[in-house]
Amino acid sequence: MEKLLDSVMDIGEQMLISGAEVHRVEDSIKRIFDAYGTKRTDVFIITSSIVVTIHTDDKAYTQTRRITETSTDYENLHKLNELSRSICKHKYSDNEIKKQLAEIAKCKKYPLWLEFICYAVISGAFTLFFGGGITESAVSFIIGALVRFVILLCDKTVKNKIFCKFVSAFIATSLAFIALRLDFIATVDKVIIGNIMTLIPGIGLTTALKDLLVGDSIAGLLRTIEACITALAIAAGYFAVAFITGGAI
């Protein structure tokens, strides 16, 4: 049972890292242990920690996991959900669970070049959406790709999501003002808005609201606070450049 607990904790950890709601992870862990016939399962999860205690006929087992980073990978989350359901149905051994987890980990991720293209296209499209012209959209397209490069550098060095958002907003705004000063664009606001839209923590805030609605108040509040601080960091990045340049638009 101890080895099974370790394997199930691996599933819960990967689900939380992939961006799952706290309620989803708690429910998956409880259902798995219910399928294996444990007398009681106590699960406590917040955005940075998982604590699980299972009770058998003669003994209790407890394990804690510290979550240091999270992302958004719904493809990986979908596979982990399918694995959880399959475990409940077939009652795999701990070795089989670890084997399938390893197979999920080996699955191909989206290539980095595609992420650059997506950031560029989204930035350019939002610039058009908010009323920018073709020239502004083209500039925003280039800046969007550069913003993804900045995020990549931050992930490999600082590894602080909030600081990364500040730096990304600062760089995006700076490049927009440089394009304005070089007369590539007539106005800078639409370019800035288009690139900031790629940084807005929309998924994080949505997940926070889901947690709050199902009663996971602590996790919901933590994610809401994180999303608000991230939004403030983005605004601070813009304000810093606007203050340095005198706010000329």
Model pLDDT for residues 84-133, shown as the tens digit of each residue: 999 888 888 888 888 888 888 887 778 889 999 999 999 999 999 998 88
| pTM, to two decimals | 0.81
Token representation of residue 129: 């959406």
Average predicted confidence (pLDDT) for the chain: 88
Asked if pLDDT for residue 249 goes beyond 70, the answer is no
Name the residue with higher pLDDT: 206 or 247.
206
Token representation of residue 248: 């000329």
pLDDT of residue 126: 94
pLDDT of residue 201: 86
Q: Are strands 60-66 and 40-46 parallel, antiparallel or unpaired?
A: unpaired
Mean pLDDT of 42-59: 88
127-172 pLDDT per residue, tens: 999 988 899 999 999 999 999 999 989 888 877 888 999 999 999 9
| Residue that the structure tokens 């900031």 belong to | 196
DSSP H or E run through 151: helix 134-157
Instruction: Compute the distance between CA of residue 106 and CA of residue 103 in angstroms, rounded to an integer.
Output: 5
* 36, 4 contact by CB (below 8 A): yes
| Residue that the structure tokens 């500040």 belong to | 166
What are the domain boundaries of the chain? 2-106, 112-245
Token representation of residue 20: 């799952």
In a 3-state reduction of DSSP, which class is residue 182? coil
pLDDT of residue 191: 92
Angle, helices 134-157/112-129, rounded to nearest 10 degrees: 140
Structure confidence at residue 183 as a pLDDT band (50, 70, 90): confident
Token representation of residue 235: 């605004």
183: phi then psi, degrees, rounded to nearest 5: 65, 25
2-23 pLDDT per residue, tens: 888 888 999 999 999 988 888 8
Amino acid letter, residue 237: G
Going by C-alpha positions, the residue among 176, 182, 168 that lies closest to residue 127 is 176
Structure confidence at residue 247 as a pLDDT band (50, 70, 90): low
pLDDT of residue 237: 92
DSSP code for 1: -
Going by C-alpha positions, the residue among 2, 6, 4, 1 that lies closest to residue 65 is 6
* 211, 26 contact by CB (below 8 A): no
220-244 pLDDT per residue, tens: 898 899 889 999 999 999 999 988 8
